[in-house]
Structures are given as structure tokens and as C-alpha cells.
Amino acid sequence: MSNLWGGRFSKQMTHYTADYNESISFDHKLYKYSIMGSAAHVKMLARQGIVSDEVCAQIQSGLKAVEKKLDQNEVEFSILDEDIMMIIEKALIEEIGDAGKYLHTARSRNDQNALDEALFLREAVKKTIGHLKDLLEVIVNKAEEEAHKIMPGFTHLQHAQPITVGFYYMAHFQGLRRDLERLQESLKRLNVNPLGACALAGTTLPTDRHYTTALLGFAAPSENAMDTVANRDGIAEYLFNAALCMTHLSGFAEEIIVFNSQEFNFITLEDSFCTGSSIMPQKKNPDIAELVRGKAGRAIGNLVTLLTVLKGTFLTLNKDYQEDKEALFDSIHTLDRTLFIFARMLEQMTFNEAVLKAQLKKGFIEATDIAEFLVVNGIPFREAHEIVGELVKHCEQQGKAFAEVVKEDLIHVGFPVELNDLSQFTVESCIEKRNSFGGTSYDEVERQIRNAKAFLSRI
């Protein structure tokens, strides 16, 4: 039999059964991590006297040879061999003979697979953190570059209050910062060594899991072998983190798409991040931003896929768990590419200040500041809110903006503080006075940028 578990079987899988059963078509990506784990495992076996030093040396040499062949695509993959772990063991035996048959001592593909995924995911998380840091650095730079520009802030897609572009960028910084922090936190839970759990209950052989833990750079061996084999929390956590990060990016992308529209024209996107139409020569479509918005669906779908796979499975290993890898690989690929290209797109994006200034004249955007002015003058906020609401209604009926209000208008609505006009309430004064902690004032945005830089310097 070509497969390595065939002793109990009298009949091989049919081709179509083997094709449905295999994972080598995608888990081959784990070969370096599988070899890394195998090298540590056999070194431990020799140290514990379970295999001879001579066998250990032959296996170590053979693993290096197999890895080189895999690097150069010289190892033939067969669906009958099922997965990368069996491919490596088979290639090792072909390379060094019977000594290779000792490799699987005191180990199962169950804990081997968990180890390969842990080693792979630990490295993948660090790479994703690097991409997130790159994007956050771009956001901070853009916040500094365009900190002086004032734009409308929105609730319900309606003009709400004036904010600065720097404040807008720093708002997106915070959500993505939390994404990075969640990834950092996940590294603590990934830093546990599954190797040595074996099939589900450990082994009768005198292995030393603490030694392989040190060799592989983990903080500790896993506590319970049964949980170890069934545990896919690290993958589920990455998929959640990826889905939430892509959701944040999707919302950011949606704003870019809307702000780029001719109705808004708040921003200018560089041509290299847009495409044209095959029939309409005038079109400049924000396709990269739209793809970011669309690819969020992949990440969310991958999370739902794994949670559905894990739901209701019996401890400990089930073949269902093979479905964890394609979802993981896809989310890593999608998120890392998206973070990179989003950063490059933002670097070349600018807010159109003249358009923003024109938009700020619409929607009575200074209304909250006028209400708070009344509060300072002893008017309860709920009364102040109603008075300013009456003023807005009056202005709409008269076709006036706040800048056109005169004393007679204020008297008409019963404005309780004597003013000749509303000239003191400008969008600039709204920004300057909104200096509560976390607010949009220039000083507060500068503080937020300083804190963001300090955070990034610690990564």
C-alpha cells in the first residue's frame, strides 16, 4: 500500500474517495513548519533515549534533504498520501531508509497537525501585525498632513458637526489599532506547544514536552492532550480578527467610495487605484475601494465556515477539522493584501479643501455649538435644544443660513440671549472650542497623533 496507515486495511481507497479525502492540495503550504516540528521531535526522542543518536542524525539529515526537494518542487504529491505530514514521512523513508520509520514514534498526525498550524499561524499573525502597523503609520501621516482641513462629520449620512480631516483619520486609527492589539493578544494563546499530545491521551513513552517547547520557542506545553487535539481556537480567533479588521476597512472603503462620488467630491483618488469603463470614456471608478468592501465578505464567510465546522463536533479529532486550513489561508491572504494596498491608496489620497468649505455652509452644522452657548448662559440643555431647533426651522422657512440670521430672526424664535447675529459661531470656532478629551480641536488631534506615534514605536 502506498499510504502509511494501511496495515489494518485490505483495500485501498478508490481514486474519487482519495480525491475527496485529501488535503495535500492546500496543506502543502505547511511543509516547512512540519519539518521544523519533526526535527525538534526526533531531537527530543534521542535525548530521552527513545531512539539512538545515530537514527536521530540520519533523520535530521534526511529532513533537510526532503525540505530542499520540497523547496525545489522535486517531491511528487499523491492524493493517496492524504496530507503534507505523510508526504514528508514517506519522502524521508525513501531518502534514508528504515531509519525514517522511527520519526513517528510518540507522535500522531493529530498533534503534528496542531503543531504545524500553531507554528504557521504564529508567524502569519506577526506578518499581519506588520501590515497593520504599516497602514496605521500611513494614517497618522495623513492625519498630520491634512490636520488643518475642516470637513462635515456625519450621523445617519447627514451633516452633524464640523470636524477636522486629521480627526477623521485618527478615528479610523483607533478601530484598526484595536485590531492590531487583538492580534498581539492572540499570540499569547498561540504560544503553547501541542507537540506530544499524540492522538488524544499522551504516550507511555518517556517523552519530554518541555524540551520540545524550548526548542520550538513556545512558552509552555499544552495542558490537556484531549483539548490540544480538538483545539482550533487559534484559527477561529485569527478568522474573527480578520473578519472584524476587514469590516473596519470595508466601512472606511465605503466612505472613500461615497466621498469620491461626483455628488460629494470630498476626495481625489490617484488614477492608479481606479479603473475606467469599457463603454463610457469619462468614468473613473474607485475599484480598489470597492474590492476592499467586497472582500470583507470573504473574511466574514471564512469565520462562519470554521465556526460551523466546529459546532457540535465530538472530542477529540474529526475529519471535519481538515476544513480549517483553506478558510485560514484565504483570510490571511485576503487581509494581508488588503492592508498593503489600502495603505498605498491612502498615501496618494487627498481631501479637496475648497469643496469641503462649500459643504460646511450646508446643514446648519454649527447648531450644537449654539445650543451649548445657551447652556453656558444658564439655559437647561433640553430647552436650548428646542430653541435652536426652532431657529433651524425658521431659517429653513426663510431660506436663510445661520450666517444670514439677524437680530429680528433671533427675537422671532425667542432666543433668550441678546445677540445681533450668529457671526461668532463659525466652523473654525466650533473646531477650536471642541477641546474636550477625545474631541476634534486642533490641540486634541495633535495629542491623539502623539499618542498614536508612541503606540506604534512600541510595536
198 torsion bin: left (phi>0), alpha (psi -120 to 50), beta (else): left
Q: Judge contact between 394 and 364, C-beta under 8 A.
A: no
Cis peptide before 316 (omega within 30 of 0): yes
Residues in the chain, total: 459
Residue 56 C-beta-side C-alpha neighbours within 13 Å: 15
The three-state secondary structure class of 143 is helix
The three-state secondary structure class of 193 is strand
Name residue 221's beta-bridge partners: 193
In angstroms, the CA 384 to CA 371 distance is 5
In angstroms, the CA 344 to CA 275 distance is 16
Q: Percentage helix, strand, coil, to 5, in the chain?
A: 65, 5, 30
In angstroms, the CA 139 to CA 455 distance is 13
The contacts of residue 454 (CB under 8 Å, 6+ apart) are none
Report the candidate in 134, 167, 164, 168 with the shortest Cα–Cα distance to residue 149: 164
Q: Return the C-alpha cell found at 212.
A: 520540545
Catalytic residues: 156, 277
Distances (CA, A) of 81 to 7, 78, 225: 14, 5, 26
In angstroms, the CA 420 to CA 382 distance is 23
The three-state secondary structure class of 123 is helix
Report residue 312 CA to chain centroid gap. Answer: 27
The three-state secondary structure class of 351 is strand
What phi and psi values does residue 318 have, to the nearest 5 degrees?
Answer: -135, 150
Q: Return the C-alpha cell found at 95.
A: 531518502
Report which secondary-structure segment, H or E, holds 350: strand 350-351
Report the candidate in 367, 334, 109, 118 with the shortest Cα–Cα distance to residue 219: 118
**Other residues' Cβ atoms within 10 Å of the Cβ of residue 82:** 21
